[in-house]
Amino acid sequence: MTFLSFNLLTGAESPVSEKQERSSNVEYNEILKSVKDFLRKPPYILITSQLIPSHSKSEYDNFGRLVGSSSDTDDGSRTTASYSYDASFPLSAKTTFPTGAGDPDFSSRTYTDGLGRNIYTVKSASNGGYVLTGRLVYDGTGKVVRKGQNNWATSGEMGRFVLHLEERNPTSFEYDPIGRIKKTIEPTAVGETSPTTITTTYNSAFETTEDHSSGTSKRIVKDARGQILYVEDFGNDGSAAKIGFCYDISGNRIKKSDLNDTSTMSCPTTLVGVPTKDTSGRNQTYWSYDAFGKLRGESDPDLGVSFYTYNAFGDLTSSTNAKGVTTTLSYDGVGRITTKSIPEGNIAYTYDSFSGSENALGKLVRVEDGNQSKTFSYDKLGRVKKEIRTILATSAGNPLPTETQGPYITETRYDLLGRVTRIDYPEHPISHGRMRACYDYGSAGYIEGISVQVNTNGILPGYCSKDIVENISYNEFGQTSSLRLGNGITTYYSYDVKGRMIRLNSSGDVGGNTKVLQDAVYSFNPNNNITNISNTTTDFNTQYDYGYDGIGRLTSANGSYLGIAEGNLSKRFQQSFDYAKNGNLTAKRIHDPASGSVQDEWSYQYTNHQVTNIDSSKSGADTLILQYDANGNLTRQRDNVKDLTKRIQVDSQDRITQIQDGNNAILGTYWYDESGFRIRRSALEEKNNVFTNVEILYPSKFYGLEFIESENVITSVNNVYLNGVRIAAMNEAGALAYYLTDQVDSVSHVLDDEGNTLSQMQYQPYGETFVQRGDLNFSPKYNSQELDRESGFYFYNARYYDPGIARFTSADTIIDGEFDTQGWNRFSYVKGNPIGAKDPSGHDACTTSRTPCKTETLLGGGGGNSAGLGAAVTGLLANLLGMGEKKSSQPDKPRSTSVTPNDAKDMTKSGLDPLNKADVKNFLDKGIKSGVTYGGNSGIKSQGSTSPLEAKNTSTTSGYRYVTKGEVQAIKDTGMLRGGREGETYFTKDLYKSGAKAQERLSLENKPTHRVEFEVLNDPKFQDYGSKVKPRYNQPGQGSEFMTTDPVKVKLINVQPLK
């Protein structure tokens, strides 16, 4: 490494192999601002965020403020952001993000008062409009006491301050004498008689209770380090659930247990190794670590006992699961996985260069396993622009025509904001027809329309002339307010003051007449659970009523259907449910809708969270018998009433590979790529009253092929997605099908290009079919997931779901809410609330009524709820990110000690490479944690995916301080950090590259200019250890902090200027 006299890094070199070196260079201007990073090919290669020959440049004004940035792209050097500042009072700053395409640029301006507090922000909005954030009202100490909601603004307010005194539907906050929030009062929605209040009681320094005005409450107990020891939920009906945790002296979590009986939490003083799988019913999980904090062993009540080994660099080299299956990993000289060895064969990863790959230095360029191979090319900004997949599994099982092997080419283009602007789908292997999809974005930064074009000669069309969806508009909160499908059907969305969708209406001209396809009106209880859905359409009416227990689990459901177009055909159902405290579904009852009497009651018997027997009051004991392997995978399901047996085979990666009946006849066979993406499905299906073998290939998420053996015909389908939800599908001839969905994205209608109904569906709460009319062959159904008719299971990408018993068929490898009493049940579906929640991936339940669901960003559609074709889009950054790197371009490291897909995204956002050993080590040691966890080594609470770098190592011997330039010199001169005051962040282990982000997350009064890294030399007494930063100075906080009033002597390690 080389430095300037000011200790600023100008270059670094690191050996890669005997034949190659890598180096990086950084240029500074006269005020020591980094202005240019550039790359050179061997023998010297500059390392920045992308190891490709490109430049990134930053420009500053005379005050050292950033005024612009630019980067090399495939189209030359382009401006990626510009910033301007207004010195008149109130002070303001404007940010503009150019799109680099024909879509509008995105702009925002923030006004601040004399104390540096935000007054409001004006930003570009839908249809060329502007939105300003709600008014903030402060008390005399600077705390926010009321926060209003967004409202529309005029174009002039982007350049001129306008005083707004109105408060629109404000949320109020009350504080205790030391500045902690003690009450939050939300606005009153239509239909509510009183506002919703949340009261926080601080029972002691370590215990808090949060009481909801609906009667529910949550109690949390922490230790002196801020680590959560107990979480307890109380319902307004007497329901309750409790979990507890234990930690070792280093802060690593070593035990989790349900505490739903009368026993207390027992924590081992030391844990060498892990005990055998717990079968006590308390669902106890244990973790053991080595001296470096690496996970060595894990005993889970659902997954069994697993062990892990590492090399001298801390890289995971092997994992052995409860079935005794060992996965081994090999690495190159810079810590990237080169081979993953599993019993089915090796998975090989290639980096830096491969024939045909562009801008590939430092990138994954090829993945190959026994089923398929993929190669990747990148643009100069490091985004995948071409994927070539060859499916090798076509020769297995029932061999397919050789043409189906591929290669299949998917090409993607982006704008400067990273949003997908075009996708060229793979071509049909016989006809060579190929589809192009084009994506347009509006002034709000969100997707505004999708159009397509299909050719028939193998040459890509240049213009997308057919609209799939257009005129997508958004309200002032970024939620979808309306859209128009290519067949003329328009959908409108209405929301209440709490952001909950209260009406979903789809209608349009069909055959010369106005037709209402869905007009659903939603009602809620004070806990934001949907209690009623009334849907009135031209052809039918439906009415659903729901009840819940005190912790939000569905307990009753009543549904009625009146088929007006079918001579007033009437159908009804009534169901009720019971749950254990740990989330297990214990009873499902079928009632007579007329009298309410119970016709059949299913009683579930469990081992931990695995249902093993279901008894029926109508059919007798052991109506269903289920068996699992040691790793928590369903291997046999016996229905004694129907005399049906499913024998289920799984591979070493816990994926279903084959399903047989009781006579060992094969019902379905499945193949996957290295990331778990299903690339082939072979099944016996009924076609025209005859069972025939049907083969489905998935060359990509967007493109599928169907081969019906008896017809010897290959047909294709091109899937189009909006906000991660399939909105339409087109075959190679250009025939279209459009999907209308409900609040949890379950498909209610399939329409043709004229608006005619091809298929119509309604569902019972947990996914069983209630009503189905028309063509039954469309795969997307419940939650828009694909139903495998040969098994009755839905494929949820990460695993399979059985709607008949309302359970997943395998244990979730990710804990969905580590401090949620219902989050540790690895088999339950959406924590018992299927009416208001969905699970897009098989890993993560998200509540559509309030909390934005994590939709996939494959189509630049953005985050937020996707209910009803994208009913809510919240969060500008999520929308600007567009299409991230595909999961398939990241080697899949085994769980617990490697970075998860969510972690990989967080690493990328923080400027780290998930495939680089040093960056992964920094990630694991300093704790860039995602919002979900595998369970172990989580002593300090994760703040979610929005927290940049959270300390996983809880040692207070080192840390960061975010300071101004004058404070840097003071630390250098004195070797001391100044003492803390109550409520002030003293120092942190959170790593931020932006001064604005550090100010926001650490609630700092002033925007810091430098990050100081240091080692603590003395032994100060910390008042708070790793606690969450509370809101202050109009900043949201949420980072982690260490506070003390004692002097702290430090050894300076590094000083880094912030962006």
CA nearest 68: which of 85, 90, 87? Answer: 85
Q: How far apart are CA 1034 and CA 1003, in angstroms?
A: 7
Please calculate the CA angle 360-363-366 and round it to the nearest 5 degrees: 85
Distances (CA, A) of 432 to 375, 394, 460, 714, 963: 21, 19, 10, 12, 60
pLDDT at 949: 25
Distances (CA, A) of 29 to 10, 26, 64, 274: 12, 10, 10, 56
For residue 774, is pLDDT > 60? yes
Q: How far apart are CA 934 and CA 949, in angstroms?
A: 18
For the chain, how many residues are written? 1059
Reported as a single tens digit per residue, the pLDDT across 806-838 is 999 999 999 988 999 999 999 999 999 999 999
CA nearest 468: which of 758, 188, 260, 737? Answer: 737
Structure tokens that stand for 73 in this block:
């792209």
Structure tokens that stand for 32 in this block:
């020591």
Indicate the domain borders of the chain: 1-61, 958-1057
Q: Which residue, chain included where needed, has tokens 């570009």?
A: 124
Spatial CB neighbours of 1005, under 8 Å, sequence gap ≥ 6: 116, 1032, 1033
For residue 780, is pLDDT > 90? yes
% helix, strand, coil for the chain, step of 5: 5, 45, 45
Q: Which residue, chain included where needed, has tokens 């230790």?
A: 223
Spatial CB neighbours of 648, under 8 Å, sequence gap ≥ 6: 633, 634, 635, 636, 637, 656, 658, 659, 809
CA nearest 810: which of 392, 466, 304, 397? Answer: 304
Using the CB atoms, write b or e for 1009-1037: b if 16+ within 10 Å. Answer: bbbbbbebeeebebbbbbbbbbbbbbbeb
Which letter does DSSP use for residue 65 in this model? -
Summary mean pLDDT of the chain: 84
* Cross-strand bridge partners of residue 571: 561
Structure tokens that stand for 565 in this block:
């177009």
User: First and final CA of the chain: distance in angstroms?
Assistant: 22
Which one has a higher pLDDT value, 879 or 712? Answer: 712
> pLDDT over 70 for what percent of the chain?
82
676 and 797 in contact (C-beta within 8 Å)? Answer: yes
Please give the single-letter amino acid code of residue 58: S
Reported as a single tens digit per residue, the pLDDT across 30-57 is 555 555 444 333 332 233 444 456 788 9
Structure tokens that stand for 657 in this block:
């590979």
Spatial CB neighbours of 712, under 8 Å, sequence gap ≥ 6: none
Reported as a single tens digit per residue, the pLDDT across 158-168 is 989 998 889 99
Cis peptide before 1008 (omega within 30 of 0): no
Reported as a single tens digit per residue, the pLDDT across 642-697 is 999 999 999 999 999 999 999 999 999 999 999 999 999 999 887 777 788 899 99
Please calculate the CA angle 1044-1048-1051 and round it to the nearest 5 degrees: 140
Strand order in 106-112's β-sheet? 2-3, 9-17, 20-28, 34-38, 55-60, 66-73, 76-86, 91-97, 106-112, 118-124, 130-132, 151-153
Q: How far apart are CA 957 and CA 691, in angstroms?
A: 68
Which one has a higher pLDDT value, 16 or 106? Answer: 106
The 3-state secondary structure of 209-264, one letter per residue:
EEEECCCCEEEEEECCCCCEEEEEEECCCCCEEEEEEEECCCCCEEEEEECCCCCC
Q: How far apart are CA 822 and CA 840, in angstroms?
A: 18
Structure tokens that stand for 244 in this block:
């507890």
> pLDDT over 90 for what percent of the chain?
63
Q: What is the pTM of this model?
A: 0.80
Q: How far apart are CA 519 and CA 435, in angstroms?
A: 33
Distances (CA, A) of 541 to 292, 544, 593, 832, 991: 62, 10, 17, 26, 55
Reported as a single tens digit per residue, the pLDDT across 167-181 is 999 999 999 999 999
Spatial CB neighbours of 326, under 8 Å, sequence gap ≥ 6: 318, 319, 320
Q: How far apart are CA 845 and CA 829, in angstroms?
A: 8
Structure tokens that stand for 734 in this block:
């250009």
Which letter does DSSP use for residue 520 in this model? E
CA nearest 88: which of 112, 108, 123? Answer: 112
Q: Which of 37-46, 415-424, 652-661, 1048-1057 comes out lowest in average pLDDT?
A: 37-46
CA nearest 529: which of 504, 502, 547, 503? Answer: 547
Q: What is the mean pLDDT of residues 852-866?
A: 37
Q: Which of 46-50, 147-151, 316-320 comes out lowest in average pLDDT?
A: 46-50
pLDDT at 303: 97
Q: How far apart are CA 468 and CA 808, in angstroms?
A: 34
1052 and 972 in contact (C-beta within 8 Å)? Answer: yes
